[in-house]
Chain A
Amino acid sequence: MSRIETDTVFVRRDFLSPEPPPASFGGFPGWARRHLFSSPLNIAISLLMLLFVAWALPPLIRWLFVDAVWTGSNREACLPKNGEPMGACWAFVNAKLAQFTFGSYPADQRWRPALVMIVFFLGLAAVAVPGTPGRRRIVWLMLTAFPVAAFWLLYGGLGLPVVETSNWGGLLVTLVVAVTGIVASLPLGILLALGRRSKLPFIKIVSVVFIEIWRGVPLITVLFMASVMLPLFLPNGVNFDKLLRALIGVAMFTGAYMAETIRGGLQAIPRGQYEGAASLGLSYWQSMRLVVLPQALKIVIPGIVNSFISLFKDTSLVMIIGLYDLLGSIQRNFSDANWSTPSIAPTGLIFAAAVFWVFCFSMSRYSMYMERKLNTGRKR
């Protein structure tokens, strides 16, 4: 106060005239101004995008739904009539749906794979949702009783007619390859990951070489190897199932990737946990089984789900060695003379894409959900 050196003291006695109201930042106009038209560049981008949507979306919707053929029993339904444009041939998918799901599994036996799939999805849902009553028991049932029962139901024997794996196909084969691949690759991956972090030099070298070789080659060459080289490795006369050979290849390949995922989890466990387990007098395997792996595997659940997503997409490759998975059985039906029209290839492929997309997208959302859930637990 004492610093004021002038004696002209100004005290305002009347109000300032009010400022004009600020430009609206609320509601749709404000939102659009901020997010679509904030600068000349943004305006240009927004207009371009709108133009693109207006150009691409209506024909796509017309093709998929409006001009599409929904019913019909042969190619006549999907042939262009008197010059009118024809859309997707959903009648084709409709007629072949059972084949896309089960392949050439005998029609009167299709309840068996259907039952297996239903039980599998129910069990999976029960395991995936945290807080299901008796979740632990369900996990054990899914890992022990279910595979045996599923094999019996799918393959047959013991009172059920045998269905050779060459008759399996469609979504069934996709699921069998993906699920067996992931289940078989988990123990393999755990062993390899432990081996890679082992202090024993020979074990470490063997694990590193194994992991890097499988990770360095494309799955297609692995499948080729499984289908043409594996029979040569076995004693003359021993010849086993083509599906099983593909499964072995897939399990080896996925096991190597799984090992790297699990190694990440092992590295994330603080040293103190290893040391604590050792100071309790636990042996190597005890400390791994009781202390380290339960924590490490919990951290890498999202990573394992991501491996499963890529494995699920990669199952489509078994088509190349002559197994008919979902994509393979759709592709095989393109040459069906009864349905051959120009529109069935796009229709079938879009249908397959939609099925794969639903599976993979929901799994990736689940993985993100688990990641969030596990993160909060660790954040404290």
Chain B
Amino acid sequence: MTLRDKTAEDSPRSWVRAALYDARIRGWVFQAVVLVVLLLLTLWILHNTAANLRAANIPFGFDFLHMRAGFDISQKPIDYTLDSSHAQAFKIGLLNTIILSVLGIVFATIIGFIVGISRLSNNWLLAKAATVYVETLRNIPLLLQLLFWYKAVLSVLPGPRQGYMLPLATNLSNRGLTMPRPIFGQGFDFVMWALLVAAAIAWGLARWARTRQAATGQPFPVFWASAGLVVGLPLLVFLALGAPLTFEIPVLKGFNFVGGMVIHPELIAMVLGLSLYTATFIAETVRAGILAVSVGQSEAAFSLGLQPGQTMRLIVVPQAMRVIIPPLTSQYLNLTKNSSLALAIGYPDLVAVFAGSTLNITGHAIEVIAITMAVYLALSLITAAVMNWFNARVALVER
């Protein structure tokens, strides 16, 4: 034993062998090799890119953002002319992407929850209809659905003269949805303030009612009281100020409407396609979440004497939400990323405006693609962070 130890210490070869078989040293060597390979690859790519850019005579840099854009955009939530800069075009693209994603998320959530609960309905027709809806739309590419809504449904609608008149002076035609535009008169901001104040009071009321119920067992009709507050207070202020709100009704002149507010068919097709497609995934999430709450939970609630509505609201939904929220988050992220398909039907979102028009005009491929990817990455990371925070709040607190 001692003899072997001695030789092991003395011989330099066995020291090397020991190092070679040491998992830690091997790990460091392996990492160093990967690091060097990655560095060399990056350098090689940078070198090639620099050479290619020099050959194409495109200097690398972000100065192009301040140059005149010179292309028009069909839907602009903020000021934009042909003389605006590419930076302004970028802002419009980003805003349009956000508008589209928010609208899509709201509708997809509503449809998804309704369909998901319908699939579990005792009503055979409703459950089957929900199943058919989910299984059909889930298995068809989103791009195809967007093209379908845009090319096969909205473009073949009749022109404004023969368009479908809907209630509230709204008209659906191949120019989109034309509706009255609200004009906010003087003092309308007070109504908004009243709404905020009412919401704050409702929140305080809910807290007070919860504490009181915990202390005395006396329930308080929080829902109706809050609803009355949130609707009533702004309405009172509105009427007291003499109803400072008028509508500009669109009028048919020649071949199109004049005045009013238009939602373009591209936006309608995008919102329809995105929300109907994503809703199928949300519906499956919701269904799985509700099924994940064991029947014993509802039975226990019934045996405590809770009403079916209360059981749903107080026992089943909070537990189901815990299962639903993480996949729901990734569906919201998917929807945001899928909104980039707007390019295919000409809705001016970030990709269409910036990675499309700006890239084609300036040729700054690397900068433009990098900025576009960074924006989506940031949106994804922010959504993920917010949802993780929310998830941590509702997560099961285990001892």
Contacts and interface: CB of A to CB of B under 8 A. Distances in A.
B48 A217 contact: no
Contacts of A232: 48-49, 52-53, 365-366
A235 interface: yes
A82 B369 CA distance: 53
Nearest to B45: A233
Interface in A310-356: 313-314, 316-317, 319-320, 327, 331, 334, 342, 345-346, 349-350, 352-353, 356
B144 A36 contact: no
Interface residues of A, number: 56
A220 B341 contact: yes
A73 interface: no
B152 interface: yes
B123 A45 contact: yes
Contacts of A206: 34, 38
B31 A234 contact: no
Interface string B126-141: 1001000001101111
A218 interface: yes
A353 B52 contact: no
Contacts of A166: none
Interface stretch (A64-72, A149-157, A222-230): A222-230
Nearest to B27: A200
Contact of A357 (B38, B52, B139, B355): B139
Nearest to B336: A218
Contacts of B52: 231-232, 236
A221 B376 contact: yes
Interface string A204-221: 001000000101111111
Interface residues of B, number: 55
Contacts of B122: 34-35, 38, 42
B51 A319 contact: no
Name the prevailing secondary structure of the B interface residues: helix
Interface in B336-355: 337-338, 340-341, 343-344, 351, 355
A49 B125 contact: yes
B365 A221 contact: no
Given A218-B351, A314-B141, A349-B151, A235 B51 contact: yes
B366 A216 contact: no
Nearest to B118: A45
Given A218-B337, A220-B343, A220-B351, A356 B141 contact: yes
Contacts of A350: 148, 152
B156 interface: yes
Interface string B171-184: 00000000000000
Interface string B363-391: 00110010011001100110000000000
Contact of A361 (B139, B341, B343): B139
A195 to B, nearest CB: 9
B30 interface: yes
Given A202-B35, A228-B369, A316-B143, A46 B380 contact: no
A314 B139 CA distance: 11
Interface of B: 27, 30-31, 34-35, 38, 45, 48-49, 51-53, 55, 121-126, 129, 135-136, 138-145, 147-148, 151-153, 155-156, 337-338, 340-341, 343-344, 351, 355, 359, 365-366, 369, 372-373, 376-377, 380-381
Interface of A: 34-36, 38, 42, 45-46, 49-50, 52, 199-203, 206, 213, 215-221, 224-225, 228-229, 231-236, 309, 313-314, 316-317, 319-320, 327, 331, 334, 342, 345-346, 349-350, 352-353, 356-357, 360-361, 364
8 contacts: A35-B124, A49-B123, A200-B27, A216-B377, A217-B373, A217-B377, A313-B142, A357-B136
Q: Which 7 A-B pairs have the closest CB atoms?
A: A360-B139, A346-B152, A218-B337, A35-B124, A216-B380, A313-B141, A218-B340
Given A221-B372, A349-B152, 16 more contacts: A200-B30, A216-B376, A221-B369, A224-B351, A224-B359, A228-B365, A236-B55, A313-B140, A317-B341, A327-B143, A350-B148, A353-B140, A356-B139, A357-B139, A360-B140, A364-B138
